[in-house]
Chain A
Amino acid sequence: MKPKNQRLVLVLAAVVALVAAALLAMWGLRSQANYFYTPADIAAGKAHDGEAMRLGGMVERGSIRHLPDGVTIRFLLTDGKADTPVVFRGIAPDLFREGSGAVAEGRLQNGTFVADTILAKHDERYMPPDLGNLSAEHKAGKTLQK
């Protein structure tokens, strides 16, 4: 190959790689991105059954129930406007408590959120940014913007 052609081929290859990466990423994101919902969104019917998603809110006080198998819990996540029942099988994270913030990852099934993973506030000083807003709004009783 002549050097000039060689450079042209290399530039073309780089452009093709970039376009391929962009297309692949778009395709992947369209099918795999998880949206973040609040219980109010669920109540408003914005989420569909079976869609992978995250649900964030505060764990309603007095709502945690342990099922007889000992490793499944049910509780309510709330954002002050609506509640969503959540069921989770597994060891809840260290800082999962009533009255504190949590994010559940999973899917909706007939109005109940089946969580695969639960993320809780990580330590006393740390607050995930999205939950930081949430708890402030929760306390102030303001309407949540999606």
Chain B
Amino acid sequence: MIAEAGLSALWLAAGLALLQLVLMVVALRSGADVRRAMRSIAVVQGVLTLIAFAMLLIVFARSDMSVALVFENSASNKPFIYKVAGAWGNHEGSMLMWVTILAVAGAFVAMLAHRTSERTLVAALGAQAVLALGFYAFLLIASNPFARLWPAPPDGQGLNPLLQDPGLAFHPPTLYLGYVGLSVAFSFAVGALLTGEVDSRLARAMRPWVLGAWILLTLGITAGSYWAYYELGWGGYWFWDPVENASLMPWLAATALLHSTNVLAARGALKAWTMMLAVIAFSMSMVGTFLVRSGILTSVHAFAIDPQRGTFLLALLAIYVGAAFALFAWRGSSLKEGAPFELVSRESGLVVNNLILTVILGVVFVGTLYPLFVEAVSGEKLSVGAPYFNAVAGPLALLLAVLVGVGPLLAWRRQRRPVLHRLQVPALLGATALAITFILWRDMHILPRLGFTVGAYLAAASILPLVGRNPLRAPVATWGMVVAHFGISVALVGMAANAAFSSERLAIAKPGDVLSVGPWLVQLTDVVPTAGKNWTAVEAELRAAKGAQLVTLTPQSRYYPDPPTQTNESSIRTFWNGQLYTVIGNQDASGAWQLRLWWKPFVTLIWAGGALIAIGGALALIGRLWRLAWRRRPSGDAEWRKERYA
């Protein structure tokens, strides 16, 4: 019954989305007032999808094996948390989660958007309904999550052990929330293009969604990177795996959109540009979903190997993106460009930021899709990996990081006085860092060397917007910007330190043997069998010593019976100055064990930087919402004067 209830809720929600679309067309043609009806429909639709998703959670929690999806992706001996999380650890469940978040976001837009004009809101809700309809059709036609099995099998096939991890409970929902937040920006952009009302009011309505989506994407990427780091046991934090790129591309577009939305909100400029970026950002979310969910990739993340689904998603992608670009081509040229600005101004700085981000996005996009393209055209198989992305995107990212220090110092519209002298201290710090790397580490690779230089410079440059004024009276959004920009420098230093100073040791050892890695001496004291609820393992006991410091690590090599899989569980110890990372491999014929040890100085700064960037975004969001809630200001283009310090 529960599964059928979920399915019915899904059908009803799809019907409401269709009604929402019809209402939009009627309203835009006749000018009828449908706002209240639209609101109720959007809210009910959100509630219905929530019911459907709750039903899926219940069948998973109860291990109802008569539901095909539960049978294929769960087992009754799994820990409870992974039973529930397993609901979205598969294709159908994750698509249901996608559409649920989309519909709930639509409901919030309908309830909260007071600032956009009525016509634009109605058009945006209509656009949101079109998006939702495509995904309802996808679920109901090609990937029904509630399909039954008869007779019900006694037990399920289990969940991929790599996915039985707290990371799973957190990672996909975060990314999906980010993707879907961008869908709201997309709907606003499409709605505003339809009505022609692209102005600073629209940008202010869009901004919280863009910021929210961007924060979640930042968190999702950071968490995903740490998950890959400790779970895959390769000691790396970013592999340029196509699926990682699938989350990076929307993030790059959202970062550009975030900055250009600020220009539109504050100055009414960059109208067409911002609309274009909103379309691109959501297109990248769709590309990401397509890459991950179509099974087109050779990747650990590729689950669905069903060509029908891939084709369906590709068709949706083509329709949405194609229609949005067509709309842009049709209406974009009729947009009046907003307030003019000089060549040296905050606006120009943000245009440069957007251009560099777009180039990086293009480079990542081409690198990710080129192998698919070549294989489709010539049948030749090739892969594009880290060497390409590091060589091409790395220098661009460093250039951008340098400019991040300059942009916030520029005034809106026109920078009258020279600003570069304010960068003396940061430049000096950067030069010092560069000099130190040359004196102490002559054979360091060029990229980490530059990473230290730019990191030191940006750490100082990023706080300049708070210097020379009372920092406590600066707007919260300014603090957010400073924290986020500072986070970039922290992450840069972490990456440079990891690249330059990591030491690795790969060897075999018998109990009693001592290996050295970096400043640590590591002794293998014992290897013992152990077991968990649904796995068995051998566990190494390692005693690591550095001076008087003594710690114990217990990496495991686990075996999961269903489905039969072996995984290496790394054991990591975090210190203020780095991480000791240990992995146990296989036993050789003589009884010795393979051990892989890393000492990674300051590697944690990478994720600390990511967290700071997200915290900065959260501060900016809080600041913006605070202002929206407490200062009901008249709208109009004169407002930029108040915002120029924001």
Partner-B contacts on A (CB < 8 A):
1-4, 6-7, 10, 13-14, 16-18, 20-22, 24-25, 27-29, 31-36, 52, 54, 56, 66, 69-71, 89-92, 94-95, 105, 122-130, 132, 145-146
Contact = CB atoms under 8 A, between A and B. Distances in A.
Contact of B565 (A10, A29, A94, A146): A94
Chain A contact residues, majority secondary structure: mixed
Given A6-B337, A6-B341, A21 B508 contact: no
A57 to B, nearest CB: 13
Contacts of A89: 506
Contact of A90 (B356, B387, B506, B563): B506
A50 B384 CA distance: 17
B15 interface: no
Chain B contact residues, majority secondary structure: mixed
B567 interface: yes
- Chain B CB count within 10 A is highest, among A3, A17, A69, for A17
B383 interface: yes
Contacts of B367: 25, 28-29
A91 B583 contact: yes
Nearest to A133: B381
A20 B366 CA distance: 12
A125 B564 CA distance: 10
B295 interface: yes
Contact of B384 (A17, A24, A34): A34
Interface in B517-546: none
A94 B381 contact: no
A28 to B, nearest CB: 4
Contacts of A22: 362, 366
B594 A130 contact: no
A33 B383 contact: yes
Nearest to B163: A123
Contacts of B161: 123
Interface in B295-315: 295-296, 298, 300, 302-303, 305
B359 A2 contact: no
B589 interface: yes
Closest 9 CB pairs of A and B: A21-B362, A70-B508, A36-B381, A91-B585, A32-B388, A25-B366, A28-B392, A94-B566, A128-B298
B568 A94 contact: yes
A7 B592 contact: no
Interface string B350-373: 010001101111110011001100
B555 to A, nearest CB: 11
A29 B385 CA distance: 10
Contacts, number: 158
Nearest to A38: B381
Given A1-B342, A92-B586, A18 B362 contact: yes
Interface in B258-303: 270, 272-273, 295-296, 298, 300, 302-303
Given A3-B340, A92-B585, 14 more contacts: A3-B336, A7-B272, A14-B355, A24-B396, A28-B367, A54-B381, A54-B382, A56-B381, A69-B508, A123-B162, A124-B563, A126-B160, A126-B300, A129-B305
A145 B296 CA distance: 20
Given A1-B343, A33-B370, A91-B596, A25 B363 contact: yes
Contacts of A31: 391
Contacts of B379: 145-146
Contacts of B594: 70-71, 91
Given A34-B385, A71-B507, A128-B298, A29 B340 contact: no
B443 interface: no
A21 B359 contact: yes
Contacts of B567: 94
